[in-house]
Each structure stands twice: as C-alpha cells, then as structure tokens.
C-alpha cells in the first residue's frame, strides 16, 4: 500500500484552467432539495433515488435518508485545478493510486510521470457544473485502484480534519462507460485506519494485528446517468481486519482522506463531482 503514498510526493499542483465557480447555482440546487418538493431543477442530474435508497451501505439497512441540507462543498472542481477548495480548514489535492498491475487514467503521480490530476470538462455540462473528476482503468489484479484526496495535508504531510460538525458525505457520480463496473467503494480514513493517525501499524501485514488501511467504507451503486450519492457517516462500515477492530463508529474528529475505490479485476470508468460534507 505504500504506492499510494507517492501521491504525497507531488509539489503544489495548481494548474488553473480558468472558469469560474458556480457556487451560487449549487447553493440554489441544494436549497431546492432542502425545501419542500422541487428537487429536480435545471441541474441536468438524474434523480437522487439511487443515493439514499437501499443501494449502498454494505451491511447497513439502507433505510430512508433525509435529503442533505446545508452542504459544505469540499470541491466542485469548477476551478479546474487539482486542489480541493481551500475552505473550512481543508487543504489537499486529488490523486490516483493503484496496485501497479494495470493501467489507470490519470496515472499515479511519480517524479518520472508528473501528471497532475485535474478535472475534466463535461460534455455536456451537468447543469451548472462544467467540470468533474474522471478516472478509468483496467487490468488490476492485486488490490485494485482508486482516486481520492486528503482533507488536511499536502506534500508529505497529513493532519487530521475535524468533521464532527457533519453528518455525512454527498456527491454526484455517473459511469463513463456502460461496460464498466457499476459499484464503487467510498473510503473514509480516520485516526484508527490511517498511518498518520499513529494508532495502526503500517508495517503489519495480512493476518497480523493492528493493520492500517481498514478504512470505513460505503458501497455506492452507479448508473449511466448522474445521480446524487448520500452517505451518512452512520452507514459506514469496516472490514474489521485493522486496528481497533471493535471500533463502533468513524472517528469524525480525526478524518484524513476520502477515496473512491475499485476492487481488483474490476474495469472502472467513473465521473465524480461536487463532493461535499453535509450537516
Ligand atoms: Ca463540477
């Protein structure tokens, strides 16, 4: 798993592709959701039915989930750069990571291949949204691949981010290719599962106690149309192979990364947009 740490090697990637943010539109959309009825609006997105329903939540009952209100946007990608929006005490960059056995776009950042991970222009746009993150790949045989970002750290540093004010994560996603796998794990790491938390042992291997990377996760189900995915922190679960296996819940006061993860032997092609916490 050390390979993913290569992502932290990159220096300040701040390629700006122009364009302005559309926060006003986003706020309007969310407020439509918050208000009575009228969830559709001109966003061009699909329904949010797949989000809250029983589709995901490995191990969770998948009961009704209230529409997110008061979202706090982590990154809407409209600025065209590889950084999450520097607000709310958050600081980090998007990265890709994989087991090295297949091919992924964008490739993992290395000094030999210093390719920045920047948003892709949407054709057509998703309502007010003109850019989103896009990754695709195949051929991974060991543990797979993914994309993600740190909430509070760049370069070689990672610090915990206090998300205790929030109830969960919300984002929009769709498949890029009808032949791609339609499920995606959404990982959230905390002080227990992230090496930087100082609790787990990064050197511990399979079958050994106190392993790292037993992140909290939710299995999202994706379709060809844009859909909102709502993930209450309460519905996250763990495999249970890592440190503090009896931990009952995500340590919201100390989050490190949010990642979108694809298993080995799984072809993937996914767009992710407008990632936010919600209260
Ligand atoms: Ca966007």
**DSSP per-residue codes, the chain:** -GGGGGGGG-------------HHHHHHHHHHHHSSS---TTS----SHHHHSTTS-TTS-----PPP-SEEEEE--TT-SSBPP--TT-B-BEEEEE-SSSEEESPPP-SSS-----PEEEEEEETTEEEEEEEEEE---SS-EEEEEESB--TT----B--TT--EEEEEEEESSTTS-SEEEEEEEETTTSGGGSSSBTT--TT-SSBS---EEEEEE--SS-EEEEEEGGG-B--S-BSSTT--S--TTSEEEEEEEE-TT--EEEEEEEEEEE-
Residues with CB under 5 A from ligand 1 (ion): 76-77, 129, 131-132, 273
| pLDDT tens-digit series, residues 70-120 | 899 999 999 999 999 999 999 999 999 999 999 999 999 888 777 778 999
Distance 239 CA to ligand 1 centre (A): 31
Both tokens of residue 257? Answer: 């990364």
| pLDDT tens-digit series, residues 239-279 | 999 999 888 899 999 999 999 999 999 999 999 999 999 99
Predicted confidence band at 65 (pLDDT cuts at 50, 70, 90)? low
Distance 131 CA to ligand 1 centre (A): 4
Predicted confidence band at 34 (pLDDT cuts at 50, 70, 90)? very low
**Residue-level pLDDT at 160:** 97
Distance 125 CA to ligand 1 centre (A): 9
Distance 138 CA to ligand 1 centre (A): 25
Strand 183-190's sheet: what is its strand order?
A: 94-98, 145-150, 255-262, 183-190, 216-221
d(CA 207, CA 81): 40
Please check the confidence at residue 33 and state whether its pLDDT lies above 50. no
**Residue-level pLDDT at 15:** 30
pTM of the model: 0.77
Residues 6+ apart with CB under 8 A from 30: 68, 69, 70, 71
Distance 172 CA to ligand 1 centre (A): 9
Distance 60 CA to ligand 1 centre (A): 29
d(CA 123, CA 130): 8
**Residue-level pLDDT at 66:** 60
CATH of the domain spanning 2-35+49-278? 2.60.120.430
Distance 47 CA to ligand 1 centre (A): 17
Please check the confidence at residue 154 and state whether its pLDDT lies above 90. no
Distance 220 CA to ligand 1 centre (A): 19
d(CA 18, CA 64): 39
What average pLDDT does the segment 48-76 reach? Answer: 57
| pLDDT tens-digit series, residues 165-206 | 999 999 999 999 878 889 999 999 999 999 999 999 999 998
Report which of 138, 156, 140 is spatially closest to residue 269, judged by C-alpha positions.
138
Distance 273 CA to ligand 1 centre (A): 5
| pLDDT tens-digit series, residues 36-46 | 333 333 333 33
Distance 119 CA to ligand 1 centre (A): 8
Contact yes or no for 265/98 (Cβ under 8 A):
no
Domain coordinates in residue numbering, the chain: 2-35+49-278
């Amino acid at each position: 798993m050390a390979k993913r740490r290569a992502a932290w090697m990159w220096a300040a990637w701040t390629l700006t592709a122009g364009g302005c943010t559309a926060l006003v539109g986003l706020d309007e959309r969310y407020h439509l959701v918050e208000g009575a009825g009228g969830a559709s609006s001109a966003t061009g997105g699909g329904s949010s039915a797949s989000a809250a329903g029983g589709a995901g939540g490995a191990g969770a009952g998948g009961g009704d989930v209230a529409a997110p209100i008061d979202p706090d946007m982590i990154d809407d990608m409209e600025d065209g750069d590889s950084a999450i929006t520097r607000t709310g005490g958050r600081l980090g960059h998007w990265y890709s990571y994989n087991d090295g056995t297949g091919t992924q776009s964008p490739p993992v950042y290395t000094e030999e291949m210093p390719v920045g991970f920047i948003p892709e222009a949407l054709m057509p746009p998703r309502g007010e949204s003109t850019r989103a993150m896009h990754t695709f790949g195949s051929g991974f045989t060991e543990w797979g691949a993914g994309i993600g970002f740190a909430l509070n750290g760049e370069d070689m540093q990672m610090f915990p981010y206090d998300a205790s004010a929030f109830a969960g994560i919300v984002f929009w996603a769709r498949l890029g290719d009808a032949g791609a796998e339609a499920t995606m794990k959404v990982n959230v790491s905390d002080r227990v599962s992230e090496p930087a938390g100082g609790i787990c042992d990064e050197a511990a291997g399979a079958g050994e106690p106190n392993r790292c990377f037993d992140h909290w996760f939710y299995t999202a189900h994706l379709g060809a149309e844009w859909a909102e995915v709502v993930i209450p922190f309460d519905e996250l679960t763990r495999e249970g192979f890592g440190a503090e296996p009896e931990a009952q819940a995500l340590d919201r006061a100390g989050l490190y990364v949010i990642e979108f993860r694809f298993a080995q032997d799984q072809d993937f092609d996914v767009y992710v947009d407008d990632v936010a916490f919600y209260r």
